[in-house]
């Protein structure tokens, strides 16, 4: 099973700042099978990025994804108040796994 | 617009079987994979398994011995059964559309996998 490790666990930033979230895989993951989700309290996760770098429908362009192999990054260029949430990466291999999440909180 | 709705008992006794159903409305049920995911209180997401509309399945190895996912295409529904539950199975259970997209670039097919539509989730507590 591929383990995804996200860092940092918590990111304390102010609105307008840039957020950089990391997702590291225990073995190589096809970029096509790497996705990112946003989850707010009491809500279901929402798809942000698929294929490591493609934005899902309706996702603002301040969200971007990059990476390949074992290292992937989600970047939020300028944090808006509604972006403070928990973010998960996910991979599809023989089994599907999620990272443990990164919480982006208001500083 | 596709919508998913989970339903089932909110309380299950230890050692019994948890049963949930997800109803899909507003879009096609065919040619998609459909997943179950859960989230224990205050914790992260755990994939349970998926079913293709035709009935083929794939389960999380850690849960495989206790999980059965089935489909009823005539009702646009798929269901989860988790046997021999314990308190550790207490969680919010989500169903989701597990999409497979294909894009051709310069004659090469690229396949993309992602969960693009989610239900709101249902809380299941395991307690006597």
The shortest CB-CB distance from A47 to any of B44, B50, B115 is to: B115
Q: Does B83 touch chain A (CB under 8 A)?
A: no
Q: How far is B118 from chain A (nearest CA, A)?
A: 7
pLDDT for B110:
85
> In B, which residues are within 8 Å of A44 by CB distance?
94, 96, 118-121
The total number of residues shown for chain B amounts to 128
Mean local confidence (pLDDT), B31-57: 96
Percentage of residues in chain B with pLDDT exceeding 70?
100
Asked if pLDDT for residue A77 goes beyond 80, the answer is: yes
Interchain contact A65–B (C-beta under 8 A): no
Give the pLDDT confidence score for residue A93 in this predicted structure. 81
Shortest CB distance from B61 goes to which of A32, A33, A95?
A: A95
pLDDT at A94: 77
The yes-or-no verdict on residue A105 having pLDDT over 80 is: yes
pLDDT at B80: 98
Give mean pLDDT, residues A26-33: 94
Query: Residues B25-31: contacts with CB within 8 Å, 24+ apart?
Result: B25/B76, B26/B1, B26/B2, B27/B1, B27/B2, B28/B2, B29/B53, B29/B73, B29/B76, B30/B73
Interchain contact B42–A (C-beta under 8 A): no
pLDDT category of residue B104 using cuts at 50, 70 and 90: confident
Average pLDDT on A14-20 reads 97
User: Phi/psi of residue A31, each to 5°?
Assistant: -55, -30
Question: CA dist B84 to A101, B15, B19, B41, Å?
Answer: 28, 4, 11, 20
Measured in angstroms, the CA of B85 and the nearest CA of chain A are apart by: 21
Question: pLDDT (tens digit, 9 = 90+) per residue, B73-85?
Answer: 999 999 999 999 9
Give the pLDDT confidence score for residue A84 in this predicted structure: 97
B51 in reach of chain A (CB within 8 A): no
Q: Give the integer Cα–Cα distance in Å for B25 and B98.
A: 15
Predicted local confidence at residue A38, as pLDDT: 98
């Amino acid at each position: 099973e591929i383990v995804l490790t996200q860092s940092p666990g918590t990111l304390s930033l102010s609105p307008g700042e840039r957020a950089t979230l990391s997702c590291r895989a225990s073995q190589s993951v096809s970029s096509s099978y790497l996705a990112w989700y946003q989850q707010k309290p009491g809500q279901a996760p929402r798809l942000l990025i698929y294929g490591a770098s493609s934005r899902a429908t309706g996702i603002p362009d301040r969200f971007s994804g990059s990476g390949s192999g074992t290292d992937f990054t989600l970047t939020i260029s300028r944090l808006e108040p509604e972006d403070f949430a928990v973010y998960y990466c996910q991979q599809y291999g023989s089994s599907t796994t999620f990272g443990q999440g990164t919480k982006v909180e208001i500083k | 617009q596709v919508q998913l709705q989970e339903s089932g008992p909110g309380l299950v006794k230890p050692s019994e079987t948890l049963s949930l159903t997800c109803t899909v409305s507003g879009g096609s049920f065919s040619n998609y994979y459909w997943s179950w995911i859960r989230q224990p209180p205050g914790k992260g997401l755990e994939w349970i398994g998926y079913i293709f509309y035709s009935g083929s399945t794939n389960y999380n190895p850690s849960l495989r011995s206790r999980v059965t996912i089935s489909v009823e295409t005539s009702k646009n529904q798929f269901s989860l059964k988790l046997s021999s539950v314990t308190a550790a199975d207490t969680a919010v259970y989500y169903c989701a559309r597990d999409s497979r997209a294909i894009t051709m670039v310069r004659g090469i097919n690229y396949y993309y996998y992602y969960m693009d539509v989610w239900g709101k989730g249902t809380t299941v507590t395991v307690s006597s």
